[in-house]
């Protein structure tokens, strides 16, 4: 942002930082939205797989309980020692019948005629549910049946797919929310910028300048410091436009803005007052110092190249600011001096006679 960078950016930052300013509020809303999205993604990542797994586990638990109840009413178990004895034979049998099951047999249950009713095993390394059912024979407890329900690969895969789909949905929501939000924020920032700046030179406009001036005048009166305003105007700018075109005239305005900005102190503020007129608010500057500064500025512009082959000159009017002066009042006085500079031949610096 050229021209009075330190001051103009300072002013904008100061009051947009507040929540009461639309830009500050937007920034806060945007940051809140991003924080919420990140939180939601983290929370769902953390909970989602667990949630899906629990859902399937709950389903399996119901099945396993039904099965355990069913078994406990009907079966008679042998003593665990004899199960061990039978285990190898049954495991071989099961393995032969269902080789894809990868079961390692742990417990077997027989009926009163010695027929196998249940063989319970588990896949190593897979998440599983463990249920215990008491085995009874005519009301007498004869042992415990442990049923392990493993989560088969399909269930695990489904839980995983559910988790990934949930996450992708969240990311999509985040992206679809984030991009329009970012575009909206950028356009709002641009609107806020244009409310205070001139779009061609990006200098502060009159309204923003009034706020800077009010601040500087209050500070000057409190600390009894001098404050001056300078107004300058490009000489024969209409002729420049007519000779080189309006586009080139715009380039001259931008180049002049950059050149003058380099000459300013950090505490000075350069304002585009309108057309080819600019105002400088110069704190801590007596009118004598302002005249010296104006002379330096005038010479610098005359000596520089600002986008057209011929020299461009400016005329400057200067006025001190009194405690009760509004910015327009101080600028009006400086403008009278500028008018005299024009009448006296242009490319000159004049100070206000009154004030
Ligand atoms: N290119 C361009 N020209 C502008 C802009 N704003 C104002 N002007 C032109 O500036 C010219 C000002 O002309 P005048 O007010 O007659 O002043 P001047 O020709 O500079 O003459 P003096 O001020 O008396 O030296 C007009 O032709 C406006 O059209 C702008 O943003 N861009």
Last residue of a domain, one of 120, 149, 178: 149
Q: Is residue 346 part of a domain?
A: yes
Last residue of a domain, one of 149, 180, 209: 149
Decide the pairing of beta strands 277-283 and 269-274. Answer: antiparallel
> For position 137, what pLDDT does the model report?
53
327 and 259 share one domain: yes
Q: Which of 231, 276, 339 to mutate to test the pocket of ligand 1 (most atoms within 8 A of CB)?
A: 276
- Residue 305 sits in which domain range? 200-351
207 and 328 share one domain: yes
pLDDT tens readout for residues 289-333: 999 999 999 999 999 989 899 999 999 999 999 888 999 999 999
Question: ipTM, 2 decimals?
Answer: 0.95
Last residue of a domain, one of 149, 171, 192: 149
94 and 209 share one domain: no
Q: Which of 232, 241, 313 to mutate to test the pocket of ligand 1 (most atoms within 8 A of CB)?
A: 241
- Residue 280 to residue 261: CA distance in whole angstroms: 10
256 and 120 share one domain: no
The candidate with the shortest Cα–Cα distance to 4, out of 258, 231, 346, is 258
Q: Is residue 45 part of a domain?
A: no
> For position 102, what pLDDT does the model report?
41
CA angle 268, 250, 341 (to 5 degrees): 55
- Ligand 1 lined by 295 (C-beta under 6 Å): no
Number of helices (H), then strands (E), in the chain: 9, 9
pLDDT tens readout for residues 106-122: 555 555 565 555 555 44
* Contact between 126 and 151 (Cβ < 8 Å): yes
Least confident among 4-18, 152-166, 171-185, 271-285: 4-18
The candidate with the shortest Cα–Cα distance to 259, out of 301, 309, 298, 198, is 301
- Given the structure tokens 């004869």, which residue do they identify? 142
- Residue 191 to residue 200: CA distance in whole angstroms: 14
- Ligand 1 lined by 235 (C-beta under 6 Å): yes
Q: Is residue 141 part of a domain?
A: yes
Q: Is residue 122 part of a domain?
A: yes
> For position 136, what pLDDT does the model report?
52
233 and 144 share one domain: no
Domain count, the chain: 2
Res. 70: pLDDT tops 60: no
229 and 338 share one domain: yes
CA angle 328, 331, 334 (to 5 degrees): 155
Angstrom CA distances, 241 to 180, 182, 245, 251, stand at: 41, 39, 5, 10
Both structure tokens of 234? 């490009």
Burial class (CB in 10 A: 0-12, 13-18, 19+), 186: exposed
Percent of the chain with pLDDT over 90: 43
CATH code of the domain covering residue 246:
3.30.70.270
334 and 236 share one domain: yes
216 and 277 share one domain: yes
204 and 340 share one domain: yes
208 and 338 share one domain: yes
143 and 206 share one domain: no
Query: Coil, strand or helix: which one is 352?
Result: coil
Q: Is residue 268 part of a domain?
A: yes
């Amino acid at each position: 942002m050229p021209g009075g960078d330190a001051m103009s950016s300072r002013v904008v930052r100061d009051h947009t930082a507040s929540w009461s300013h639309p830009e500050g509020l937007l920034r806060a809303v945007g940051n809140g939205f991003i924080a919420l999205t990140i939180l939601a993604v983290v929370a769902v990542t953390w909970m989602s797989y667990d949630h899906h797994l629990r859902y399937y586990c709950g389903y399996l638990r119901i099945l396993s309980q039904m099965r355990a109840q069913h078994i406990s009413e009907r079966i008679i178990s042998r003593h665990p020692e004899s199960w061990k004895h039978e285990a190898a034979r049954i495991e071989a049998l099961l393995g032969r019948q269902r080789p894809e099951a990868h079961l390692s047999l742990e417990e077997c249950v027989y009926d009163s005629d010695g027929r196998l009713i249940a063989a319970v095993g588990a896949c190593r390394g897979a998440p599983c549910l463990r249920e215990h059912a008491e085995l009874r024979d005519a009301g007498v407890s004869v042992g415990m049946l442990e049923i392990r329900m493993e989560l088969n690969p399909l269930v695990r895969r489904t839980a995983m797919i559910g988790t990934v789909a949930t996450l992708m949905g969240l990311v999509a929501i985040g992206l679809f929310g984030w991009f329009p939000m970012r575009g909206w924020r950028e356009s709002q920032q641009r609107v806020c910028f244009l409310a205070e700046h001139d779009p061609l030179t990006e200098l502060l406009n009159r309204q923003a300048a009034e706020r800077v001036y009010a601040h500087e005048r209050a500070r000057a009166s409190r600390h009894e410091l001098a404050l001056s305003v300078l107004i300058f105007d490009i000489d024969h700018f209409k002729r420049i436009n007519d000779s080189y075109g309006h586009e080139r005239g715009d380039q001259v305005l931008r180049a002049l803005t950059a050149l003058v900005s380099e000459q300013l102190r950090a505490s000075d503020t350069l304002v585009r007052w309108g057309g080819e007129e600019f105002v400088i608010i110069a704190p801590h500057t007596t009118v004598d110092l302002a005249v010296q500064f104006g002379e330096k500025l005038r010479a610098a512009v005359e000596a520089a190249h600002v986008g057209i082959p011929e020299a461009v000159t400016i005329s400057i009017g200067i006025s001190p600011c009194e405690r009760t002066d509004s910015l327009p009042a101080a600028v009006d006085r400086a403008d009278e001096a500028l008018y005299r500079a024009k009448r006296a031949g242009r490319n000159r610096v004049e100070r206000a006679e009154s004030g």
